[in-house]
Amino acid sequence: MSRTCREIERNILRLLHGRETRKQLREIHAHFLRHGLDQLNQILSHFVSVCGSRNKMAYANRVFKQTQNPTIILFNAMIKGYSLNGPFEESFQLFSSMKNRCICPDEYTLVPLLKACSSLGGLKLGKRVHKEVIGVGFEGFSAIRIGVVELYSSCGVMEDAKKVFDEMYQRDVIVWNLMIRGFCKRGDVGMGLCLFRQMNKRSVVSWNILISCLARIGRDSEALALFHEMKNWGFKPDEATVVTVLPVCARLGAFDVGQWIHSYAKSSGLYEDFVAVGNALVDFYNKSGMFETAGRVFDEMPRKNVVSWNTMISGLAFNGNGELGVQLLEEMMNKGISPNDATFVGVLSCCAHAGLFERGRKLFASMVEHHQIEPKLEHYGCMVDLLGRNGCVREAYDLIRSMPEGTPNAALWGSLLSACRTHGDAELAHLAVKELIDLEPWNSGNYVLLSNMYAEEERWEKVEIVRGMMRERNVKKTPGQSVIG
């Protein structure tokens, strides 16, 4: 290669790896096409890698298909790109094509293949790749072992993951985190904590994994204690920590901690950089009953997404300010932000709590008519609540009956039953209780309720039938209940 070509190649590589210039993929592509370097695997592999980092694999694939003699470095770049961005199956298509060309894989081929298996949750396929790893003698490579641990831990096969983990002489923080996440995902938090305590070196991710796991399973006090321990060890919370801990603070009433996080998020730049942090703060203040502070945070947010609006609307419903929630929906749409199904759950809840009967009806109808959003169970639940609160129990019953077969659940029938008893519709109340018994044949409370309703009407033969049903189905009434008969 001439000196001029080498200089052009170096220039192209500088462009590909420059912070701003790497965004100009088409211009860079045109540049090396113009100089006849479009078959140079060295350049193409770098170009494909940058495409992969920018989630432009369709473009990378077009360039790859025009290559006459791709070498292993180009195949590896393509396989890695698809393993990170998907479709993950494409990694295996390329691997097959590579083998058909009699190109032997190396560790840089097999690591992304293991990653693709982890992303697919394909244990069977992953075991075949692991077998290939052993066959070519690459099982000792650190990156390979991390890939195998990630595969087995993501698929929940922690015994196999631990076997590979135990054989590793050097374990970096990444592999420790994979093991902790795997055990926590499987529900073995004790083992996750045990591994965490054994770590010589931790990262913020290590703390986040355990804090989020404890929060998810309702161990909020332990999650908050671990957060304080994290701070005491000198670790700075990141956006994932903040988004995880704020709901814990709301549930525990740890208002002072939530306020500290608010102050920290602003001083550290997390509030400006991550919209999810602003959303979490709005949610925290709403759930703490401080909807005015939530509103101020919402108004001050440098960026908002549909989740931001949904969080504020739902918070207003939660705090009994339904009319403001409906107004916020109108403001949202005026700004050109399209509502989604979660938006309508929030705004229909606003209508139910504020008694905005006709407005709720129109909004429910507009979901399909104007926004092409098919109602889900939550939307029906809001409407049954709205109709029931306004005494339209027959309409609520007809709405439940209009739902796809098998969709209505016990909560919906329970909501209708409550409305029927409030508004004195005994006939529909009986129908609702019978539906509840069909849905929850094990729930003694439903039988007791039906029996008591019959007793109030002095229909003693029906009371006896209900008692007989309980005996036949071996349903025991809980202490404090009584079946009158």
Residue 123 located in a structural domain: no
Walk along the chain (485 residues) and give the pLDDT tens digit of each residue: 445 667 777 777 787 777 777 777 888 788 777 877 678 788 888 888 988 988 999 998 998 998 999 999 999 999 999 999 989 999 999 999 999 999 999 889 999 999 999 999 888 989 999 988 888 888 888 899 999 999 999 999 999 999 999 988 889 999 999 999 999 999 999 999 999 999 999 999 999 999 999 999 999 999 999 999 999 999 999 999 999 999 999 999 999 999 999 999 999 999 999 999 999 999 999 999 999 999 999 999 999 999 999 999 999 998 889 999 999 999 999 999 999 999 999 999 999 988 899 999 999 999 989 999 999 999 999 999 999 999 999 999 999 999 987 788 999 998 998 888 888 888 888 888 888 888 888 888 877 877 887 888 788 888 888 788 888 888 776 654 454 44
Residue 59 located in a structural domain: yes
pLDDT at 485: 43
Residue 88 located in a structural domain: yes
Which H, E and C letters describe 282-350, residue by residue? HHHHHHCCCHHHHHHHHHHCCCCCHHHHHHHHHHHHHCCCHHHHHHHHHHHHHCCCCCCHHHHHHHHHH
pLDDT at 484: 46
Angle made by CA atoms 269, 231, 228, in degrees to the nearest 5:
120
Residue 54 located in a structural domain: yes
pLDDT at 438: 87
Residue 411 located in a structural domain: no
Instruction: Report how far residue 61's alpha carbon sits from residue 56's, in angstroms, rounded to the nearest whole number.
Output: 9
Phi, psi of 284 (to 5 degrees): -60, -50
pLDDT at 472: 80
Range 476-485 burial, b when 16+ CB lie within 10 A, else e: eeeeeeebee
Residue 92 located in a structural domain: yes
Read off the amino acid at residue 405.
E
Number of domains in the chain: 1
Q: How many residues does the chain have?
A: 485
Residue 181 located in a structural domain: no
475 contacts 447 by C-beta, under 8 angstroms? yes
**pTM recorded for the entire structure:** 0.83
Q: Domain of 70? A: 1-104
Neighbouring residues of 448: CB distance < 8 A, sequence distance ≥ 6: 477, 481, 482, 483
pLDDT at 81: 94
Angle made by CA atoms 154, 159, 163, in degrees to the nearest 5:
100
Neighbouring residues of 106: CB distance < 8 A, sequence distance ≥ 6: 72, 76, 138
Residue 444 located in a structural domain: no
Instruction: Report how far residue 106's alpha carbon sits from residue 91's, in angstroms, rounded to the nearest whole number.
Output: 14
